[in-house]
Amino acid sequence: MSKKIAQPIPKKLFVGFNWKMNPPTLFEAKKLFDIYTLYNFQRADRGLAGLLPVLFVPILFLTYLQSHNPSSLLIGSQDISDQESGAFTGQVSGQMLSSIDCKYALIAHSETRRDFKLKEKVIKNKILQSLASQITPIVCLSFNSIENAKKELMLKLENTFDIELVEAIKSKAKSNFGSRQQPIFIIALEPIACIGTGQILDNKEIYKQLAVIDTFLQSLNLNKSLDQVNGDQIGDYISLYGGSVNKDNIGELCKCPNVDGFLLGGASLIEDQIQAIFGQEN
Ligand code: PGA
């Protein structure tokens, strides 16, 4: 196992570990989960609080791991239905998730968008269902080409953040949403070319694309949370970057001033990676 520790993480970070459709069995899921709880306990022993790790596990494993969770690790869902309840075979509602104390849900990950051909209206309704259940939605915004990134992002933003959604967010901001220990929503910037490929955007480019999103959201009076991880009454959202983030590049990537955290896919399945990422905390 590598003992290499890259640059320490200089600020408070939300780190979403997205297992995607892995591992293949409950037995292996338990083993993987044990690795997280071990390193999380070690962090707690050292009094570290700079990282907010949230595991996004397959829905089949979610209930099991949640009810056999010896640690304070948070477990989120990889998806959520756009409907409240009823005849929607195969779907999982916000109320069901919140009944097992799930506090975060990924929405419209680029793989989900692609595989289920999600329309923006469905995405918006998933966000609304999530908010209604006191679950912080992580709204994934992908783009295909760096040349057209602004156009692609703006199209998605304009079609998703309509008046109804903005009002729902604003009303949550006035309520005690999840006791405001969490941001009302989270944006995840995901360049398709970087997902699972080993390529990353440089900090200048990440900054530029997140600034496009911030400018749009500010025009709707939605503000970035100043406390990067705990929503803390200060703002409405935080911003993540996702795409080939690992133990060797996370220290550099988190120097990007408008990045509040990351979504990790491949690295979330590897012990060496998990250990090093948990160990980089100041
Ligand atoms: P990756 O996945 O880390 O394997 O590139 C990231 C993601 O899908 O968000």
| Whether the CB of 235 sits within 6 Å of ligand 1 | no
Instruction: Confirm whether pTM is higher than 0.85.
Output: yes
Kindly state the tokens that stand for 183.
């941001």
Distance 250 CA to ligand 1 centre (A): 13
Using DSSP's 3-state secondary structure scheme, residue 247 falls into coil
- Give the number of residues written for the chain: 282
pLDDT, tens digit, 9 for 90 and up, residues 24-46: 999 999 999 999 999 988 877 77
| Whether the CB of 243 sits within 6 Å of ligand 1 | yes
Residue 2 has pLDDT above 50, yes or no: no
Tell me, what's the pLDDT at 55?
98
Rounded to the nearest 10°, the torsion over CA 228, 232, 235, 238 is 30
Residue 90 has pLDDT above 50, yes or no: yes
Nearest ligand 1 atom to alpha carbon 264: 3
DSSP, residue by residue, 102-151: --EEEES-HHHHHHHT--HHHHHHHHHHHHHTT-EEEEEEEES-STTHHH
Distance 15 CA to ligand 1 centre (A): 12
Q: Do 224 and 214 form a contact (C-beta atoms < 8 A)?
A: yes
